[in-house]
Structure 1
Amino acid sequence: MTDQRLAHVFVELADTLVDEFDAVDFLSTLVERSIELLDADAAGVILRGARGTLHVVAVSSERVEVLELFEVQNEEGPCLDCLTGGEPVVNVDLVEAQARWPRFTRVAEQLGFTSTHALPLRLRETNLGAMNLFQTRRTPLSSDDLLIGQALADIATIGLLQERAVRESALLAHQLQSALSSRVSIEQAKGVLLAREQMPVESGFELMRSYSRRGRLPMRQVAQRVIDGELTAEDLRL
């Protein structure tokens, strides 16, 4: 990894720090770039909603979504510990963590993962959520890797909060709820594409995301048009 590539990633994420941005797309970019820069195999982001409920908002694959949902539903795993303590949980060998997270480690190993990390999305006393990183190899993150990973998580936190949200809790709640509502619409649209056109859910998401970016449209709007039958897979490819 070159310094030039690292700088490009930070600029790419910082470019979204405006009054209006697509939170799901932003967090999906965070997940993708974290995998690239930290040599992970998969990643996901869990956010805490306005009432404290945890939600899976961005994932790198369907198997990660399964694992993250399992973690939330069973209240057990690295992200939960990271959220509770507000500190990174890193370089955890899943074999050694069986006593710590028995149900989580069983499912994680079934999905092919051997180690995990969790980094907090935190600013001062505000803890929005956490990002999980998963590896199929037992390759520990170095101190430099952890600095980069936490810096990426910090940019994501700032992007979600925005300066006004630090001062106004109502804006924070609205921003997070918008991201969670977008996620629901996107999941419905992925299901529509699967049922209507037998398109794998991951392919459907990437098509909608590409269409959103080309047309400068919010992901939620694109997803709703898919649900309403206004956009087909062929339309999304144009």
Structure 2
Amino acid sequence: MNREQRLAAAFVGLSDTLADDVDPVILLDRLARHCVEIIGADGVGIMMATSRGDLRTMAVTDERTGFLELLELQAGEGPCLECYRKGVPVDSQDLDAHTDRWPEWAPLARRSGFRSAHALPLRVNHQTIGAVNLLLDIPGGLPQADLVLAQALADVAALALIHWSVERTRPSDIHTRLQVAVAVKSMVDMATGMIAEHGGLGPSEALSALHVYAAGNNCRLIDTARALVQRTLRLEEVLGASR
């Protein structure tokens, strides 16, 4: 497979929380492996927050990365910890230039053969739940485009972790979820029709008005549609928001 095909397969594999052989450890191992095989990192470590708010190593791709992850937790410094605390990506294109920033971690990372590092947040709905360490044997780090892809993979993995359940999904559960989706679409269609008739709008304009009102009031589209159908929200309010 070419890189685009491998990326597509990676996103599908990370999001498939219904498979019988998937659990949080496998998901994070997959993420780490994809960051090496597709993104181009030489070593990857993944940490997640515990209920106490500290971090625990969940996946590493090799022994030297595992050693550095352990050191990072013991020393209380390093790109992963900084990324988790700040909730933003952390970059070091040359670890030799960051010995003041990470006086214990950076020299040992350098002696382990790594020359540059990136850390990306694991996040769900703007909440940081961990971090991904990308370590490279050469200075300069990864291109920005590759970091964007790595962050997208991390975001998908984080969402999958939140939606994974220890209980196996039954065929009836899948059928129920599908029927909920169909019911939601029917509710949105009904509300869209009400807006179109009341405002003299076409279907696409009416749906756009529904979206505008929902976004402007920080509401889910289905909640806005339900409020219209149940007459707890006036049509004039929705139409007014789009004008």
TM-score tier, shorter chain, comes to 0.5 to 0.7
Could you say if the C-alpha distance between residues 32 and 111 of structure 1 is closer, same or farther in structure 2, counting changes exceeding 3 Å?
Answer: same
Match of 1:58 in 2: 59
Letter in 1 for 2:66: E
What SS does the corresponding residue of 1:46 show, helix, strand or coil? strand
Match of 1:70 in 2: 71
Q: CA deviation at 1:124?
A: 2.4
| RMSD (Å), alpha carbons | 1.9
Structure 1: gaps of 5 or more residues = 165-238
Match of 2:7 in 1: 6
Could you say if the C-alpha distance between residues 32 and 69 of structure 1 is closer, same or farther in structure 2, counting changes exceeding 3 Å?
Answer: same
Match of 2:81 in 1: 80
| Residue pairs, 1:155-194, within 5 angstroms | 155-162=156-163
Corresponding position: 1:94 with 2:73 = no
Match of 2:26 in 1: 25
1:155-189 deviations in Å (ceiling 9; x for gaps): 1110111289xxxxxxxxxxxxxxxxxxxxxxxxx
Structure 2: gaps of 5 or more residues = 166-243
Q: CA deviation at 1:90?
A: 2.3
Q: CA deviation at 1:56?
A: 0.7
User: Are the counterparts in 2 of residues 38 and 149 from structure 1 also a CA contact under 8 Å?
Assistant: yes
Match of 2:48 in 1: 47
Could you say if the C-alpha distance between residues 24 and 133 of structure 1 is closer, same or farther in structure 2, counting changes exceeding 3 Å?
Answer: same
Q: CA deviation at 1:14?
A: 1.5
User: Are the counterparts in 1 of residues 17 and 163 from structure 2 also a CA contact under 8 Å?
Assistant: no
What SS does the corresponding residue of 1:95 show, helix, strand or coil? helix
User: Are the counterparts in 2 of residues 48 and 54 from structure 1 also a CA contact under 8 Å?
Assistant: yes
User: Are the counterparts in 2 of residues 31 and 60 from structure 1 also a CA contact under 8 Å?
Assistant: yes
User: Are the counterparts in 1 of residues 84 and 130 from structure 2 also a CA contact under 8 Å?
Assistant: yes
Identity %: 42
Q: CA deviation at 1:16?
A: 2.9
Q: Distance in 2 between matches of 1:83 and 1:89?
A: 9
What SS does the corresponding residue of 2:142 show, helix, strand or coil? coil
Dislocated runs of 4+, deviation >4 Å: 17-20
Match of 1:116 in 2: 117
Match of 1:34 in 2: 35
- Give the number of equivalent residue pairs: 164
Q: Distance in 1 between matches of 2:101 and 2:94?
A: 11
Q: Distance in 1 between matches of 2:72 and 2:152?
A: 24
What SS does the corresponding residue of 1:90 show, helix, strand or coil? strand
What TM-score do you get using the length of structure 1 for normalisation? 0.64
Q: Distance in 2 between matches of 1:98 and 1:17?
A: 44
Q: CA deviation at 1:29?
A: 0.9
1:137-167 deviations in Å (ceiling 9; x for gaps): 1243222112101001101110111289xxx
User: Are the counterparts in 2 of residues 79 and 132 from structure 1 also a CA contact under 8 Å?
Assistant: yes
Could you say if the C-alpha distance between residues 115 and 47 of structure 1 is closer, same or farther in structure 2, counting changes exceeding 3 Å?
Answer: same
Letter in 2 for 1:131: V
Q: Distance in 2 between matches of 1:132 and 1:141?
A: 12
User: Are the counterparts in 2 of residues 17 and 162 from structure 1 also a CA contact under 8 Å?
Assistant: no
Letter in 2 for 1:127: T
Q: Highest CA radius of gyration, 1 or 2? A: 2
